[in-house]
Amino acid sequence: MRVFLKLLLLGAVFFHNFAPAQDYPNKPIRMIVPWPPGGATDILGRLVAQEMFKNWGQSVIVENRGGASGIIGTDLLAKSPPDGYTIGWIISTHVVNPSLYGKVPWDPIRDFTPVALVAFVTDFVSVHPTVPANNLKELVALMNAKPGQIAFGSSGAGTSTHLAGELFKQVAGVNINHIPYKGGGPVLNDLAGGHIPLMFGNATSILPFIRSGKVRALAVTSLKRNPALPDVPTVAESGYPGFEVNEWYGIAVPAGTPQPIVDKLNAEITRIITSPEIKDRLISQMGADVVPMRPDEFARFVKDEWAKWTKVVTEGKLKID
């Protein structure tokens, strides 16, 4: 009898865990993008949402909740019901913000379940065409000639577009100012309009501006050249060996979301980003590097990134009040 009861209990637990995923999704899904429209996260979000709708037949409603370097939208995700019908984007800032700001209303590890890593994206050191520099060496000479007078814009404090600039200040020994924006869209518009001279721009969102001639790329922040613009040298090749900054993009759900739903989301997102058409588009058009991971692999990656960037921010004494 005891054996029978144990088997019955195990069967009930299995059914309880498996049942939610059987007919998932059976209603629209809300996708939170913690940044304004026009930036890299928004572009990737709408691409994935469209492909999920095509396959599942359920609407995936993209909701932009920008502000405070992604903190506001991420807080909304953390406090949403853990039922698989609210998913959201986490990027490199997810593990940088807690140490950079000192306190955020969520825990980057405890309050979320990582679902899938979508892509790594590098940055391009880019200037407005009126800036008299055709390569990184000339740009540094200009910075040294005008110490403290040149500013670089970023898509927000703690983003790769900010940290790349801070790291470059250190390795090149230049004095430039940081102007944080509330997302990639606004800062790109100001760079293209000549309102700021410089940006360490995310490849996914800045490539169309480079290709149209609205901005000029001088170098790429990865250790290898970006296949989308193979003629643009790396920062390392331009005289600063070892320089490397990349940004990662992934999808998470609130902690407590049933594992079968997490696994089903992971399988769908992996299917999307590894399909030949979408993968080629991500690489050639958006300058992304597609690196699919299982939920447990992505969870370990997020923990490792949190430890790494907490050390970088602490040792670099980078703080936002």
> For position 254, what pLDDT does the model report?
98
Domains of the chain: 13-119+247-315 (3.40.190.150), 122-220 (3.40.190.10)
> For position 1, what pLDDT does the model report?
52
Helix (H) or strand (E) run with residue 119 in it:
strand 112-127
pTM, to two decimals: 0.81
> For position 72, what pLDDT does the model report?
96
| Cα 248–chain centre separation | 5
Tallying the residues shown for the chain, one arrives at 321
CB 39 within 8 A of CB 183: yes
> For position 10, what pLDDT does the model report?
46
Query: In Å, how far are 117, 160, 163, 292, 318 from 97, measured between CA atoms?
Result: 19, 12, 12, 24, 11
DSSP class of residue 38 equals: T
Tens digit of each residue's pLDDT (9 = 90 or more) over 223-243: 999 988 999 999 999 999 989
Residues of the chain with pLDDT below 70 are 1-20, 321
> For position 321, what pLDDT does the model report?
64
> For position 102, what pLDDT does the model report?
86
Give which of 111, 129, 123 is closest to 154, Cα–Cα: 123
> For position 114, what pLDDT does the model report?
98
Q: What is the DSSP string of 145-184?
A: HSTTT-EEEESSTTSHHHHHHHHHHHHHT---EEEE-SSH
> For position 134, what pLDDT does the model report?
96
